[in-house]
Amino acid sequence: MWRGRPRPRPLNLIPDELQFTRSIAQTVQRGCANPYPSPSTERRQPNGTDDRYDTLANHPATVVYNLEQGSPYTMHFPSVLRSFVGGEIVDLVLQTGPVAKTVLLLLIAFSVLSWAVILSKWRLIRRARGQSGRFVRAFRKAQRLQDIASVAEQFRPSPLVGVFEGAVEEFKRQMGMTGSIHNVVAIQRAMQVASSEEITRLERNVPWLAITGAVTPFIGLFGTVWGIIDAFHGLGTAGAATLRAVAPGISEALITTAAGLAAAIPAVIAYNLIIGSIRELASRNDDFTLEMLNLVERQQAMPVTEVRR
Per-residue pLDDT tens digits for 38-84:
444 444 444 444 444 444 444 444 444 444 444 444 444 455 445 54
The rounded distance, in Å, linking the Cα atoms of 122 and 127 is 9
Per-residue pLDDT tens digits for 190-204:
999 999 999 999 999
pLDDT at 112 over 90: yes
Between residues 143 and 189, the one the model is more confident about:
189
Question: What is the pLDDT averaged over residues 238-254?
Answer: 70
What values do phi and psi take at 64, rounded to 5? -125, 135
CA distances from 44 to 34, 47, 50, 200, 259 (A): 13, 8, 5, 69, 46
The rounded distance, in Å, linking the Cα atoms of 296 and 309 is 15
Burial class (CB within 10 angstroms; exposed 0-12, middle 13-18, buried 19+) of 3 = exposed
Other C-beta atoms closer than 10 Å to the C-beta of 15 total 9
Sorted by where each begins, the domain ranges of the chain are 16-75, 91-308
pLDDT at 127 over 90: yes
Q: Select from 254, 146, 160 the least CA-distant residue to 199.
A: 160
Scored b (16 or more CB within 10 A) or e, 290-304 reads eebbebbeebeeeee
Looking at this protein, which amino acid is placed at residue 36? Y
What's the predicted TM-score (pTM) here?
A: 0.66
Top mean-pLDDT range of 2-6, 135-139, 181-185 = 135-139
Q: What pLDDT, on a 0 to 100 scale, did the predictor assign at position 214?
A: 95
